Structure 1
Amino acid sequence: MTREILLLFICTTRAYSSTLADFSNNTTENAAITLTREKRLHLPLFPINKEYLHPNTPVEETYDFIIVGSGSAGSVLANRLSENQKWKILLLEVGDEAIPLTDIPVLAPVFQFSKIDWNYKAEKQDGACLGCPDQRMHWPRGRALGGTTVLNYMIHVRGNPLDYDRWAAMGNPGWSYKDVLPYFIKMEDADIEVQDKEYHQKGGYLSVGDIPHRSESAHAFVKAAQEAGHPYVDYNGKDQMGVSYVQGNLRRGKRCSGEKAYLRPARDRNNLKVSLNSRAIKILINPGTSSAYGIKYVKNRRYYKALVTKEVILSAGAFNSPQLLMLSGIGPKEHLEELNIPVVQNLPVGQKMYDHITFVGLNFITNTTIVNRQSDLYNPVNYLDLIANGKGPLTTLGGVEALAYIKTNASTDPDSYPDMELIFIGGSVATDRGLAYKNTLSIKQELYDGYWKDLEDKSVWQVIPMLVHPKSVGYLRLKSKNPYHWPKFYPNYFTDAENHDIKTFVASIREIQRINEMPSFQKYGSLQYDKVLPGCERHTFDTDEYWECALRHITPTLHHQVSTCKMGPSNDPEAVVDNKLKVYGIKNLRVADTSVIPLPLTAHTNIPAYMVGEKASDLIKMEWEASNLIDSGDIKRSHISKKQ
């Protein structure tokens, strides 16, 4: 505890204070980069095992398994596979360790513009992202030990049972809700006040619980939603449809990342090697046997090869797993040939991509201050409260405090299946005076000035609706065969033929307006902000046509992209992997991350990614342990220390 307080003191008094000065000068990107480049801040929060953070991987060293990517699924795989002491595991991570400040939940938006973020951008498209700088949306993706779990919003959502039953019904046995629920429970160390107990457990690696701080506006939203007919539920329990305070991946008020949850408990295992700053650039494949036998990667500007006796497992995420497959000759034949990449296996890699988008143009003003205040970020007492007690306003998940799952009148699905998630924020895009949220949500400066500027320093709350089952489908491509070139992302938002995505959004806006009219909000005089969004002046405010215009301007991603290495049966022309996560046509190669998820889930994809990692570990163990008939004494289980 003393050491943490000392770290906090250094962070806040020596570096962070100067960074906040940068914030006040509207240089958020520079401020975030300053934070991550401050060498004095790069202090690990746990003792480094030289074997764990493998500094000098020898050329052509051989392993049983190589895992590419240390995010949600990759961190699980590294932990679970290294439980077998006879197996030698290499985990390759392109990034470095995250800095201690990423542990502060409320700061989540800041680190999406730093060296621990890939800083990807989607390609420009007509009819969407009209309010983004250059009409290109920022697509955050983690680039550090722990992957995106070090910069996401820590929201813990499993999804709806029907998601997984449909997943299995698409020709993927073993992925129904009955099959995957044990893995969701297995991962958890749950501390949730209102819960369906049979759906949770204590003792797992991943901490999940209630958020210690709740604003008065969050209480008002939860009560108003119930007044509007939405029951209070444990949305990770028996029923998802309803309202709840948000559940998050926090441990004593601080971020519980994949690194903290799964990698730290395994750090003393001599059979697990973690190589940081190691960029995988090619899967090594024997053309005669069509078998993966290793990875070529770059570290410290030198090329290395790591070889495997069993499997290569890609857990690099929905962008980088398909990129690495295509760079290695596994992908759409015509696309690879146009880039002069020798075709090893013709598969529809990157041909399908779903994403969750949201709308940030619904704001409500109250006559009493009931929301979170930006000044909380500058008060040193709150940092001490966070470290010493795990409490206070800094524990909020980037501002998110509650969720509601609803079925709008645009849906034709069963009554128990939501089509929208309502994300309640005790504040607005203007809460930080345009310093971080504006950039995170890809809002150009002139649009912010013309619409949100007037909301600064006011008591404003908002709900951002998230479209959970989009009909519009995007895709990704390689820019070139150079592994250092970003992939090209084509989201294709709002391109479905029947305009269903827009209609669903508009229906959700009407429900949010109805919730605002409930007594729990009206006792604060809550009124909708009715300023017309710049660019939509030709439409009358609050008509369906106005909302469609606004949606086409300001619908940022919530970075839940899936399906770029879609799972499916062998007769599915869109499938890249089978239900065992094995890449079609290539032996000893699996993909285990969100890229395999074949449909958009009623979830934030971080928790399903952990589930994929847990299930993948069991699939691999069943195959290889059975073939080797290992003795149970070779299995090592880690003690989970809650002090980490």
Structure 2
Amino acid sequence: MQSMKINTLLILIISLSATSSNDDFDDIVTVSDEDYAVPEPSNYNGYEFVKKQKRHTSSPYKSRVLEAMLNTPMYHLNTSESDVFSAFRDQYELPKGFKGPLKIYDFIIVGAGSAGSVLAARLSEGKKASVLLLEAGVGESIIGSVPILAPLLQQTDYVWPYLMEPQPGVCMGMDNERCFWPRGKAVGGTSAVNYMIYTRGMPVDWNRIAAKGNYGWSYDDVLPYYIKSERANLRGLKNSPWHGKDGELSVEDIPFRSKLSKAFLDAGQLFGNRRVDYNSPDGFGFSFIQATINKGKRASSATAFLHDIKKRKNLHILTSSRATRILIDPLTKTAYGVEFQRLGQKYTIHAAKEVILSAGPIESPHLLMLSGVGPREHLESFGINVIQNLPVGQTLYDHISFPGLTFLLNATQLTLAERKIATLQNTVQYTQYGDGPMSSLAGVETIGYIKTQESNELGDVPDIELIGTCASLASDEGNIVAKGIRLSNRLYNNYYKPVEHLESFTIIFMLLHPKSVGYLKLGSKNPFEQPKLYGNYLTHPKDVATMVAAIRYIMKLVDTPPFLKYGSTLYNKKYPTCVQFDYDSDQYWECAVRTITATLHHQIATCKMGPPTDPMAVVDPELRVYGIRNLRVIDSSIIPETIAAHTNAPAIMIGEKGADLIKSRWGLLDNYA
């Protein structure tokens, strides 16, 4: 421990020694060779469950939009590059003067995702602490910043290609009848590949979480952290007290709006739904989507919080670095470092203050269990020494959706049919002005919160989120969105191919508060093998009834003058999986939902936050892992119950709040402006 203190002091001297402004990125530092971590040969011989896609000198992706972009000077592909997504990639290298990672840092953060990026930025402010940020993926591609290409990213190495374990009766229309759970694998995490929808959750969500013993997590407690991050530029909300103006995260209106977006809002108004700012405390209603974009480009957590500070001397960001174990002293139960693999070598780095898991709702619990923190019987079955018996991974909620409800139109130029919008004109418009069809969130435009007759809640508590779009699964002829969710060719060809050349759109809905609870387990003690994921989708009858009610609501919504003036009609062909049911019966729609059971990538609660009285809690309300000193989990896995939100914004908020909790613990709060 004495050598650890000496090294920590050395790092503090390095970070304090600079005298110029602007984070002193250009100052020269001198580090003795003995202070660098010494790599060892990898234990795993490069084995990894992610199978690398075969690379080509030309794009392997069947996207007319991508092809149009690559034919312009701005995005012209250097043919020496192996893939379009590696050709224009953000680079993260150690600051000038450093030859490699050091033996010890004050804080080690595992995962540079939505929360981890914020943590690294905040903890390295003021140069009072040294921070190592580990990320298994790489920097973002400039191509990935184009909003319309969001679904294409699910076919790339920018995601962990997780698959849910087979579950009879769900995902029947997917490849091998398995649900696909891609998670972001990049600096920026899932915020680098998502649909950029910015939602915070309703006040009732956070107040319920706080009321169950999670002090400091009420709506009034978390709202300042949302506002702190945000730099909003939203029409009509310039002076809103509910939005931030000075934060790093750009939140803007989507530049492109189709006529269908207005139809959605007008139809909602006919049904008595108010136009609202859904990110205000009074958010029950309909609205245009607020998005994490900046002048038409994706604003990921990495873009917002890391890109401009990546040369800070006291912040070291290591990409392609896969954490394999948290080092925990079994006697004192104190976390003191991380073991990780990088470029075929193994590193062991120590943390003088804390280790922080921000690896997301799948990898954070996975890494805890590999490190001896988890359900005793389960870990012992793999021969893992149990340091702390905790219910890691035993709670898992997810938001599921149904993107299959398809409406046809007799008007033209209303939808984002890829064959029509993939033009040089649209590409130039986007590259010059940041607007036009390519600035669309792949057709996603509007949002609405409703309460179906299945709800038992009092007051304005939604059970369904509606997502209005100007596209359908047929709009790209099955090459992008359908492949991104792994829809089977058999189902696509049977159901969607016949309407590829017609104008079509869908209104997606998200089940906000599922009663069905899943879990995850280890697949093996090999850290590179995927854990076993059990969604348990639709195992509670209330979830099925609520989703059928949402379908019926949407059908009535589209059967109103704002949509009918465009000749909207429901495409009433039966799914091949559901031919045994009468069309439009409840049984048919239940079968349809079970056919295309799509995740919206919002897994939570796998490292559940709760008070000591909660038998399922893994972390306390200050995000400290129960029974282990100097170890926290700070990401969306701590959210203890379902919230009416896409989880990117909450994860960023959790990163902000978690940073303050850590600063308070180590007396660092007063050292920052």
User: Is TM more than 0.5 here?
Assistant: yes
Residue aligning to 2:415 = 371
Q: 1:404 and 1:54 mapped to 2: Cα distance?
A: 50
Matches within 5 A, 1:509-528: 509-528=551-570
Is 1:128 the equivalent of 2:159? Answer: no
Is 1:461 the equivalent of 2:505? Answer: yes
Residue aligning to 2:343 = 300
Residue aligning to 2:484 = 440
Q: 1:69 and 1:314 mapped to 2: Cα distance?
A: 7
- Is residue 325–residue 331 contact of structure 1 (8 Å, CA) maintained in 2? yes
Matches within 5 A, 1:401-550: 401-496=445-540, 499-550=541-592
Match of 2:235 among 190, 193, 198: 193
Residue aligning to 2:639 = 597
Distance 1:138 1:46, change over 3 A: closer
Q: 1:45 and 1:335 mapped to 2: Cα distance?
A: 40
Match of 2:305 among 259, 262, 276: 262
Partner SS, residue 334 of structure 1: helix
Partner SS, residue 64 of structure 1: strand
Matches within 5 A, 1:166-181: 166-181=208-223
Q: 1:502 and 1:525 mapped to 2: Cα distance?
A: 30
Match of 2:250 among 198, 207, 210: 207
TM-score w.r.t. the length of structure 2 is 0.87
Distance 1:22 1:367, change over 3 A: closer
Alignment gaps of 5+ in structure 2: 1-54, 68-77
Shift of 1:47: 7.7
Is 1:19 the equivalent of 2:59? Answer: yes
Q: 1:39 and 1:55 mapped to 2: Cα distance?
A: 28
Distance 1:440 1:480, change over 3 A: same
Cα deviation, 1:25-79, whole Å, max 9, x if unaligned, reads xx9xxxxxx9997367645577866418977324xx1110000000010000000
Distance 1:146 1:340, change over 3 A: same
Which range is displaced more, 297-306 or 224-233?
224-233
Residue aligning to 2:110 = 68
Residue aligning to 2:352 = 309
Q: 1:21 and 1:162 mapped to 2: Cα distance?
A: 43
Is 1:158 the equivalent of 2:200? Answer: yes
- Is residue 107–residue 354 contact of structure 2 (8 Å, CA) maintained in 1? yes
Partner SS, residue 403 of structure 2: coil
Match of 1:318 among 327, 345, 361: 361
Distance 1:272 1:574, change over 3 A: same
Cα deviation, 1:518-541, whole Å, max 9, x if unaligned, reads 111111121111111111111111
Q: 2:149 and 2:602 mapped to 1: Cα distance?
A: 20
Residue aligning to 1:277 = 320
- Is residue 62–residue 480 contact of structure 2 (8 Å, CA) maintained in 1? no
- Is residue 93–residue 317 contact of structure 2 (8 Å, CA) maintained in 1? no
Shift of 1:376: 5.1
Cα deviation, 1:284-306, whole Å, max 9, x if unaligned, reads 01122110000000111111011
Q: 1:16 and 1:188 mapped to 2: Cα distance?
A: 39
Residue aligning to 1:359 = 402
Partner SS, residue 122 of structure 2: helix
Q: Aligned AA for 1:338?
A: S
Q: Aligned AA for 1:285?
A: I
Alignment gaps of 5+ in structure 1: 1-14, 28-33, 638-644
Which range is displaced more, 99-108 or 224-233?
224-233
Residue aligning to 1:291 = 334
Residue aligning to 2:27 = none
Q: 1:449 and 1:610 mapped to 2: Cα distance?
A: 40
Q: 2:263 and 2:639 mapped to 1: Cα distance?
A: 36
Q: 1:82 and 1:365 mapped to 2: Cα distance?
A: 53
Q: 1:52 and 1:243 mapped to 2: Cα distance?
A: 49
Partner SS, residue 311 of structure 1: strand
Distance 1:431 1:342, change over 3 A: same
Q: Aligned AA for 1:320?
A: E
Cα deviation, 1:235-258, whole Å, max 9, x if unaligned, reads 101322111111100011000011
Q: 2:177 and 2:665 mapped to 1: Cα distance?
A: 47
Shift of 1:373: 2.4
Cα deviation, 1:351-370, whole Å, max 9, x if unaligned, reads 01000000122111111021
Q: 1:125 and 1:320 mapped to 2: Cα distance?
A: 21
Partner SS, residue 184 of structure 2: coil
- Is residue 284–residue 462 contact of structure 2 (8 Å, CA) maintained in 1? yes
Distance 1:432 1:40, change over 3 A: closer
Q: 1:236 and 1:502 mapped to 2: Cα distance?
A: 28
Is 1:619 the equivalent of 2:661? Answer: yes
- Is residue 53–residue 275 contact of structure 1 (8 Å, CA) maintained in 2? no
Residue aligning to 1:119 = 161
Cα deviation, 1:188-233, whole Å, max 9, x if unaligned, reads 1001113371101211110001000011111211111112221111
Matches within 5 A, 1:321-340: 321-340=364-383
Q: 2:601 and 2:335 mapped to 1: Cα distance?
A: 30
Is 1:219 the equivalent of 2:219? Answer: no
Residue aligning to 1:387 = 431
Residue aligning to 2:190 = 148
Q: 1:198 and 1:454 mapped to 2: Cα distance?
A: 49
Partner SS, residue 350 of structure 2: strand
Distance 1:36 1:377, change over 3 A: farther
Residue aligning to 1:343 = 386
Residue aligning to 2:47 = none
Cα deviation, 1:334-388, whole Å, max 9, x if unaligned, reads 1101111110100000001000000122111111021122135521332222222
Cα deviation, 1:364-413, whole Å, max 9, x if unaligned, reads 11110211221355213322222221111111112211111000000011
Q: Aligned AA for 2:314?
A: N
TM-score w.r.t. the length of structure 1 is 0.91
Distance 1:279 1:17, change over 3 A: closer
Match of 1:237 among 272, 277, 280: 280
Q: Percent identity?
A: 46
Distance 1:136 1:507, change over 3 A: same
- Is residue 59–residue 84 contact of structure 2 (8 Å, CA) maintained in 1? no
Q: 1:361 and 1:46 mapped to 2: Cα distance?
A: 35
Cα deviation, 1:608-644, whole Å, max 9, x if unaligned, reads 0001000000111111116xxx8x5x53x6xxxxxxx
Residue aligning to 1:5 = none
Residue aligning to 2:16 = none
Residue aligning to 2:13 = none
Cα deviation, 1:137-180, whole Å, max 9, x if unaligned, reads 11111111111111111000011111100111121010000100
- Is residue 115–residue 653 contact of structure 2 (8 Å, CA) maintained in 1? yes
Residue aligning to 1:640 = none
Q: 2:184 and 2:100 mapped to 1: Cα distance?
A: 23
Which range is displaced more, 384-393 or 351-360?
384-393
- Is residue 376–residue 393 contact of structure 1 (8 Å, CA) maintained in 2? no
Is 1:399 the equivalent of 2:443? Answer: yes
Q: 2:101 and 2:160 mapped to 1: Cα distance?
A: 24
Distance 1:530 1:545, change over 3 A: same
Q: 2:485 and 2:252 mapped to 1: Cα distance?
A: 26
Distance 1:16 1:256, change over 3 A: farther
Residue aligning to 2:126 = 84
Q: Aligned AA for 1:495?
A: T
- Is residue 274–residue 286 contact of structure 2 (8 Å, CA) maintained in 1? yes
Residue aligning to 1:575 = 617
